[in-house]
Structure 1
Amino acid sequence: MMRGLLPDAVEVTEVRAELTAPPLFPEEAAVVARAVDKRRREFATGRRCARLSLAALGLPAAPLLPGPQGEPRWPAGVVGAMSHCDGYRVAAVARATDLAALGVDAEPAARLPDGVLEAVSLPEERADLARLGRAAPHVPWDRLLFSAKESVFKVWFPLTRRPLGFEEARLRFTRERDLAGAARGTFEVGLLVPLPPEFAGPVGGAGLTGRWLVAEGLVLTALAPAVRRAGGGPDSFEPAGRAAARPVPAHPAHDGPHPSNR
């Protein structure tokens, strides 16, 4: 599912069950030593998915420890993101020579709790969602907006190391034709803050385009800005339409909400 939202340069591992092997590195196990069992399992499966994706890039297994804001610290030369929600885990990685950053998020396909939409959206966005909801009431547009803003933050923070409020990005959604019971489309991101050079340099501007999918009880969003090449705009990527997600062993990710995507 997430595979279809991302370019071929990205290696994706997504599972609907926990992975029980291989064991965590000792440094990783120490991070969740005091966590509840559910959190330990989420953390471990996310790391195992990430290592499968990194292996597909030809990289060896290594500890993936959280940074100061809980974000995963990827190997040098790699960009990536992880996410999880009930019954789903995903890890996506790419080489930093192909993508400037990578954001993915997974949420349950359910409406947000009362009061949350007002806290994470702009008035103009709420007006957009009301219009979209009249045309496609089966799509949880409020949850989709939340998820897309999570993906935006996962692109923003690793490049800038700065906070980005929910109100500092204006999102607009486009819905494509539903296929096989799945709703899908794109979203446009307008950043409403001055762009620091560490973001503007590799990404190239305040406008970004992501993709979304609502299927099988999940809301999935992805944002994968290509590296801006010297003397021109960013390379463009079409979402992968051919490759399958990374297969996983016989046993058969949302480390949200921002700033963490551990």
Structure 2
Amino acid sequence: MIDDILPPFAVAVEAFDDLTPAPLFPEEEREVAKAVEKRRNEFATGRRCARAALAGLGHPPVAVPVGERRSPVWPAGVVGSITHCTGYRAAVVAADGRAWSVGVDAENNEPIPEGVLGAVAGGTERAAVADLLARDPKVCWDRLLFSAKESVYKVCFPLIRRFMEFDAAVVTLDPGGTFAARLTVPGPVLDGIEVTELSGRWTAGRGLLLTAITLER
């Protein structure tokens, strides 16, 4: 599924269950030593997907530890992103010679809890979500907006190394499968140019909503 919204040079591996054995490296094991079974399973499958994706770039099996702000720590020369939600896990990687950063997010196609949209979205975004829901209720646009903002954060964090609130980006969703994000805070500086706008892609299916942003070089 997620391949549909990624550039050809990115390698993605996804899983829809935790049935395949997913052994962990010691530094990964420490992260979930006291976790409940659900958290351990989703973490382990995500790391299994990460190692399979890295293999697609020619890397041997290595640990993918948890770094600052819970972001994955990739081997030298690699950028990537890991995501999971109920019934889905995925990892995406790319060579850093092809992309500055990658951010992906998966959510279940369900409305976000009551009251959360006001914390996630500004007035213009809420109005747009209401209009999209009226036109196409099969997609939970409020949840898709949340996912798009998660992808914004994931693609930016490795480059700026600071936390971003939900109001750090104003997102415009396009029913055709794309979205745009305008940053309201200082963005990454790439080759001397500050990034102020991002573009991403989204897809829906199998009860899931997936979003992705790739900052290509």
Structure 2 unpaired stretches of 5+? none
Stretch deviating more after TM superposition (48-57 or 68-77): 68-77
Question: Partners of 2:44 and 2:133 in 1: how far apart?
Answer: 37
Work out whether residues 19 and 48 of structure 1, in 8 Å CA contact, stay in contact via their aligned partners in 2.
no
Mapped partners of 1:136, 1:22: distance in 2: 38
- Of Structure 1 and Structure 2, the greater strand share is in 2
Give CA deviations for 1:167-195 in whole Å, capped at 9, x if unaligned. 1101111112xxxxxxxx10001001123
2:160 partner amino acid:
T
Q: 2: distance between equivalents of 1:99 and 1:3?
A: 16
Q: Does residue 1:188 correspond to 2:173, yes or no?
A: no
Q: Does 1:212 align with 2:202?
A: yes
- Give the counterpart letter for 2:92 in structure 1: A
The 2-side partners of 1:138 and 1:19 are apart by 29
Q: CA RMSD in A?
A: 1.3
d(CA) in 2 for partners of 1:68, 1:194: 20
Mapped partners of 1:22, 1:132: distance in 2: 39
Q: If the length of structure 1 is used for normalisation, what is the TM-score?
A: 0.80
Structure 1 residue runs of 4 or more that deviate by more than 4 Å after TM superposition: none
Amino acid at match of 1:201: L
Which structure has the higher relative contact order (CA within 8 Å, separation 6+)?
Answer: 1
TM-score with structure 2 setting the length: 0.96
SS in 2 for 1:157: helix
Distance 2:19 2:59 in 1: 20
Q: Helix, strand or coil for the counterpart of 1:225?
A: strand
Deviation at 1:130, TM superposition (A): 1.5
SS at match of 2:100: coil
**Counterpart code for 2:195:** G
- Which SS does the other structure have where 2:9 is aligned? coil
Asked if 1:201 is matched to 2:193, the reply is no
Asked if the contact 2:22–2:44 (Cα under 8 Å) also holds between the matched residues in 1, the reply is no
| 2-structure distance, mates of 1:200, 1:69 | 20
- Distance in 1 (CA, whole Å) between partners of 2:68 and 2:4 is 31
Aligned to 1:162: 162
- 1:205 Cα deviation (Å)? 2.2
Q: CA deviation at 1:19?
A: 4.7
Q: How does 1:73-92 map to 2 (within 5 A)?
A: 73-92=73-92
3-state SS in 2 of match to 1:9? coil
Give the SS at the match of 1:222: strand
Gaps of 5+ in 1: 177-184, 228-262
1:19 to 1:13, Cα distance in 2 relative to 1, 3 A: farther
Q: Deviation digits for residues 103-137 of structure 1, max 9, x if unmatched? A: 11001100011000001111110111112122212
